[in-house]
Amino acid sequence: MLKELSARQQLLELGARTVPVLAKGKHYIFCQNLDDVAEFVGLQGTGQVPLAPAALFMKWVVVLRAAQRYVRQIPSERLGERVIHNRDRSIRLMSHHIFRIVEAFLDTAIDDFEYRVDNANVPPQEGACVTAAEIAAYGEVMIDRLEAWWDRLDDKSCAQKVKTFYGVQPMHQLFERSTWHSAQHTRQLMAVLERLDIEPNGRLTPEDLAGLPLPEGLWE
């Protein structure tokens, strides 16, 4: 990995504009596809078998429903607080982000937009998703769209190719990445509730998350 010291300068010299990046000399790859990472470092695969698309779809909906429940539990006056003290992201923006990941995925899966590094980070429009109820309602729209996409999808192998900032990938890969991305932030939302001394309404279980390549650490 790039060394922490002068990492920004190293990124600029390489030509990379986002992280995580794995570099070797003047060659680098983005680390969004773990199979690419394994090949880059000379390994024969990651050792992980991705979940089938049908399983990913079911798990993603479970995660998103949980996120809706948790968002509704956040007191309105706490939404502007940071998710974690050393990161400049509010609880409101991370809650919105969980569902924005779905919208970014569908923009690529349905409309063939290139999946860029900032697609899932687009904040709500001014005056939108201000309250917990509004964020949960946005989540409902995204869940409806995800279910409609899956119902209409002819090739549920998700082997079809999509364009991303880290190269042309099978849709299955972006589907998996988007699912665990929402799941990781939903885990963090449970931790926020615990910090506020609120018991999460219907905790995600190990079975709910089984098979997703989630980071070991909660804040990684």
Least-confidence region, from 19-28, 95-104, 145-154: 19-28
Task: Answer yes or no: is pLDDT of 2 > 50.
Answer: no
Task: Answer yes or no: is pLDDT of 108 > 80.
Answer: yes
Percentage above 70 pLDDT, the chain: 79
Task: Answer yes or no: is pLDDT of 209 > 90.
Answer: yes
Are residues 172 and 70 part of one domain?
yes
Instruction: Provide the pLDDT for residue 30.
Output: 54
- Tell me the average pLDDT across 118-132: 95
Q: How far apart (Å, rounded) are the C-alpha atoms in residues 127 and 115?
A: 26
Contact call for residues 50 and 172 (beta carbons, < 8 A):
yes
Q: What is the mean pLDDT of the chain?
A: 87
13 is in which domain, residue-wise?
Answer: 7-40
Are residues 129 and 66 part of one domain?
yes
Are residues 139 and 177 part of one domain?
yes
Are residues 60 and 13 part of one domain?
no
Question: What would the pLDDT profile of 131-162 be if each residue is shown by its tens digit?
Answer: 999 999 999 999 999 999 999 999 999 999 99
Task: Answer yes or no: is pLDDT of 1 > 50.
Answer: no
In angstroms, what CA-CA distances link 186 with 52, 91, 162? 21, 11, 26
Q: Considering its fold, how many domains does the chain have in total?
A: 2
Residue 218 covered by a domain: no
Q: How far apart (Å, rounded) are the C-alpha atoms in residues 175 and 162?
A: 10
Site of tokens 């939903």: 186
Neighbours of 98 (CB within 10 A): 28
Provide the pLDDT confidence category of residue 117 given band limits of 50, 70 and 90. confident
- Provide the sign of the torsion angle of the four alpha carbons 48, 180, 212, 105, taken in this order: negative
Provide the pLDDT confidence category of residue 220 given band limits of 50, 70 and 90. confident
Instruction: Provide the pLDDT for residue 48.
Output: 73
Residue 2 covered by a domain: no
Provide the pLDDT confidence category of residue 42 given band limits of 50, 70 and 90. low
Residue 45 covered by a domain: no
Percentage above 90 pLDDT, the chain: 75
Are residues 182 and 82 part of one domain?
yes
Are residues 96 and 204 part of one domain?
yes
What dihedral do alpha carbons 179, 138, 112, 57 form, nearest 10°?
A: 30
Residue 46 covered by a domain: no
Are residues 186 and 139 part of one domain?
yes
Task: Answer yes or no: is pLDDT of 4 > 60.
Answer: no
Instruction: Provide the pLDDT for residue 189.
Output: 98
Question: Whole-prediction pTM value?
Answer: 0.81
Residue 124 covered by a domain: yes
Contact call for residues 170 and 161 (beta carbons, < 8 A):
yes
DSSP 8-state secondary structure symbol assigned to residue 204: P
Are residues 23 and 67 part of one domain?
no
Are residues 166 and 63 part of one domain?
yes
Instruction: Provide the pLDDT for residue 3.
Output: 46
Q: Which CATH number do you get for residue 70?
A: 1.20.120.450
Residue 48 covered by a domain: no
Are residues 78 and 27 part of one domain?
no
Are residues 167 and 73 part of one domain?
yes
Are residues 72 and 32 part of one domain?
no
Residue 23: strand, helix, or coil? strand
Closest-CA residue to 81 (of 212, 210, 195): 195
Residue 219 covered by a domain: no
Residue 47 covered by a domain: no
Closest-CA residue to 95 (of 63, 119, 62): 63
Task: Answer yes or no: is pLDDT of 13 > 80.
Answer: no
